[in-house]
């Protein structure tokens, strides 16, 4: 009985094994394992880069300042006897601003001129002595050494005369500098000294601050990311606080250096101000229209990814996503200019998946409307 039971159990086990073998796929256990770990594909929307014309308007806060501002002090020391202007005055180029007491410099000029008279008389006398000595030498009355001595004395007298002439010119120059005139037409921004002040040369006493106001200058700082966009001559619009109409102007200067603190570069624009209605120092809003870029290689802005300080596009190659580093130029609302890194033949990932998909993943381009891929 026991042997019969063990036989029945063995037959049952064989039947179970046979049933299990019937469930194994025809391709075998290796094919089943491969199907279990197959890499998934992500459906993505793709687009091609395009060539087109791109324009971009730049906005930046700025200020309107005097194109020239001079702190005018004395070139000669002395007591201020007259200050002709006060703060807010408008002056023409060459107008008198202030005067240092000229009396000491008039005396110095007269003294130098007197020395010049003495020098001229001395030279004249020595020239006559040399001429008489040469006549007597031909008569063998004087020795050759006497003529040589007189000739040397004449050369020294002529050198002293040249020194005296320079002393007179310097004295006259100093006297002229006692009256200080405006180097350009402008407005007096500040009067810093009054009559009776002892003006010094070192350190220089600043008496008047003069600003050129007939033509002002708008200045704006542009981010270094837009470094290659602004060029001299680009049209610009300056909107000024308190002025109803914007000022149409152009870019006159673009700085060649980047400010290390703000990471910006300076742009300047002339602002005509013939009626002096605009005050220097007023806040302004600047709009610059860089020249349009024709035949620019353009990519949708939604396709751009910035990672680790680099800008990349995701392109589809051989069924996988690759990150393509690119350099950007101008920006528009929906597109950006690709300056380098792409040649236009790439198929790039766009849409929501462009922000979430990772490089290296397998992808399947999403069929376009109408059945075309």
pLDDT, one tens digit per residue, over 153-165 is 999 999 999 999 9
Domain around 352? 43-54+293-365
Residue 94 and residue 73 share a domain: yes
Region at 94 (left for phi over 0; alpha for psi -120 to 50; beta for the rest): left
Q: What is the pLDDT of residue 147?
A: 87
Q: What is the pLDDT of residue 372?
A: 38
Residue 277 and residue 297 share a domain: no
CA–CA separation, 114 and 127 (whole Å): 20
Residues of the chain with pLDDT under 50: 1, 6, 8, 11, 13-14, 16-17, 21-24, 26, 30-36, 369-373
Residue 182 and residue 97 share a domain: yes
Question: Taking the model in full, what pTM does it have?
Answer: 0.59
Residue 218 and residue 203 share a domain: no
Q: What is the pLDDT of residue 331?
A: 74
Q: What is the pLDDT of residue 14?
A: 46
Cα–Cα distances in Å, from 309 out to 235, 264, 265, 305, 306?
32, 18, 20, 10, 6
Q: Considering the domain boundaries, does residue 143 fall inside one?
A: yes
CA–CA separation, 186 and 280 (whole Å): 11
Residue 204 and residue 264 share a domain: no
Q: Considering the domain boundaries, does residue 81 fall inside one?
A: yes
Residue 202 and residue 235 share a domain: no
Residue 90 and residue 193 share a domain: yes
Q: Considering the domain boundaries, does residue 6 fall inside one?
A: no
Residue 171 and residue 113 share a domain: yes
Q: Which of these three, 240, 265, 288, is where a domain ends?
A: 288
């Amino acid at each position: 009985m026991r042997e019969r039971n063990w036989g029945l159990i063995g037959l049952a086990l064989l039947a179970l094994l046979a049933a299990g073998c019937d469930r194994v796929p025809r391709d075998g256990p290796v094919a089943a394992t491969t199907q279990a770990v197959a890499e998934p594909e992500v459906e993505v929307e793709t687009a091609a880069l395009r060539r087109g014309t791109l324009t971009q308007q730049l906005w930046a806060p700025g200020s309107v300042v005097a194109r020239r501002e001079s702190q005018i002090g004395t070139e000669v020391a002395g007591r201020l006897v007259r200050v002709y202007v006060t703060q807010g005055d408008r002056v023409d180029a060459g107008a008198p601003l202030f005067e240092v007491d000229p009396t000491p410099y008039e005396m110095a000029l007269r003294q130098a001129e007197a020395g010049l008279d003495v020098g001229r008389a001395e030279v004249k006398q020595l020239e006559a002595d040399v001429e008489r000595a040469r006549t007597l030498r031909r008569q063998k009355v004087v020795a050759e050494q006497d003529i040589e001595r007189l000739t040397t004395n004449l050369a020294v007298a002529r050198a002293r005369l040249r020194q005296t002439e320079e002393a007179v010119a310097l004295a006259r120059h100093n006297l002229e500098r006692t009256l200080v005139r405006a180097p350009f037409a402008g407005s007096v921004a500040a009067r810093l000294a009054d009559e009776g002040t002892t003006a010094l040369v070192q350190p220089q006493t600043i008496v008047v601050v003069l600003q050129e106001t007939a033509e002002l200058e708008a200045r704006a700082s542009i981010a270094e990311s837009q470094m290659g966009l602004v060029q001299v001559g680009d049209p610009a619009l300056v909107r000024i606080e308190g002025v109803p109409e914007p000022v149409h102007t152009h870019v006159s200067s673009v700085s060649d250096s980047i400010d290390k603190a703000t990471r910006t570069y300076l742009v300047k624009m002339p602002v005509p101000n013939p009626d002096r209605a605009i005050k220097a120092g007023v806040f302004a809003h600047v709009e610059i229209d860089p020249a349009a870029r024709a035949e620019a290689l353009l990519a949708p802005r939604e396709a751009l990814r910035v990672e680790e300080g680099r800008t990349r596009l995701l392109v589809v190659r051989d069924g996988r996503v690759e990150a393509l580093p690119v350099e950007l130029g101008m920006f528009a609302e929906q597109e950006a200019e690709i300056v380098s890194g792409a040649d236009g033949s790439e198929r790039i990932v766009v849409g929501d998946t462009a922000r979430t998909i990772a490089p290296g993943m397998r992808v399947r381009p999403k069929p376009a409307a109408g059945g075309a891929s």
